[in-house]
Structure 1
C-alpha cells in the first residue's frame, strides 16, 4: 500500500512540475493577424470589405443569365424588381466561398397558392442556363402550404428549413448565407460537397447543410458537372406570382488565412 501511495505522490509531483514549467504564452498566437473590417453602420449594412451587388442604383453588376446581355429587370426607388419575360439574372463576378446578404419582398396583394405564390429563388452558384445551379427558395409561406422542401428557406427539393420565420407579404425579408462551394478533383469527380448555412430574418433555418448536388426539379440531385467559381443568380420564375423585389445585396468572399 505504501508503495502505491509513493508512486501516486510521485506522479502527482510530476504533473505539478510540468504545470509549473508551462507558460501562458505557450498557447497564445500573434500570427496570422486578422485584417481589419469595418462593420456596417446599421444591421444589414455592408461591411467595408463587401462586394456591393445591388445598392439601389443600377444593374451594373448583373447580366441576363442565359445570353450574358445587360440585365433587364426594373430598378426604381432603390429596389430591384423582376421584370416578366426577361429571364434570370446573374452576377458578372464569380465566387467560391462567401457570405451573402440579400433582402426580398413578396407583393402585398399576392394571390395564388402553393408554388404559385411569390415564387423566385437565389441560386447560390449558377452553373448553366435556365435554373441550373443550387437554389435557396424564395416564396410566400406566411400562410401558404406547399411541400416543405420547397418552401421559403429550403434548399429546393433537398432540405426542409428548421423553422418557418416568414414575414407577411409586403414586408421585407432577409437571407444571410454562408456558402461553401463544392470542390472537384482534376478528373472531375467530387472531392468535397457544397455546404450552406442560412439565417432567415435572423433565424437559423439551414445549419451547415451538405448538398447532394445541384437543384433538380425532377429526380435526385447529384454532382455530375465539375465547376469552379460561379455567379450568383436570381430567378424570374415566369408565373403570375411576380413581381418580386430585392434590395441591399452584398457579398463577402471568404478566403482562408
Structure 2
C-alpha cells in the first residue's frame, strides 16, 4: 500500500475532543517541512533546468487533478501579479477544466490522454516544462500528460508524496516528498497538499528570482492591481530613492512598475 493511502496513526477521531484533534493535526503538520527539506536536492535540479529553458523562451505547465490541480492553478495564477510576468508563462491545468476548480468532475482524472490535449490548447515548444502534481503518483491524467510531453521532447518533472511511484518513474526530474499517513486516512488535501504547496512555492519563487524578477528582496515587477500594492510600490521607490511619498507615487504611476520607476529616477 502507498504511504498516502496507509492507515492514520490516530483512531476513534469521532470520540476525541476539539483540543485533541487540533493538537494532533498540528503535530502531523510539523512533519511536512522536514519531508520537504529531504527533497531539496531534487527541487534544486528541477528549478535549475526550468530556468535554463525559460531563458530560451520556455514556459512552465502544472498539470493535476483535484487538490493537486487546484494547487497548480493557485501557484500559476499568482505569478503574474507577484512578478509581472505574462499569464501564459506559468500555466496551471486541472483535469476536468476550469469548472473542476470548484466542483469535482466525475472521471476526469482517469483520462490518460486529456492532459496532453489540454496542454496543446496553449501550444508548446521544446523549451517548455511540464510538472505533474499527484500525491499518489498514480493519477492517469497526470501520468499520460507527462509521458507524452517527454516523448515530444519537453522537460518533465513531478511533485508526489509516495516513493518510487509510476509518476516519478515517468518523468526526468521527480520530486518526492513523503509526509507519511494522513491524519484522516487517505485525505491527501491535508499533509500531502501542504507539502505540494510548499514545493510549488519554492519552484516558482526561485525560478522568478533566477530570471531577475526580484531585486534585493523586493517584488519590483509586481502588478499594481490594488491600493495595497500601490502603497507597497510607493514605499519601495521611497526606500530606493530620495523621493517623498507623493513624488514616488507619481513615478510609480508614470512608469508602471517599481523597477521602471527607480531606473527612470537614476537616469534623469
What is the TM-score normalised by the length of structure 2?
Answer: 0.24
Structure index of larger Rg: 1
Q: Greater strand share, 1 or 2?
A: 1
Q: Greater helix share, 1 or 2?
A: 2
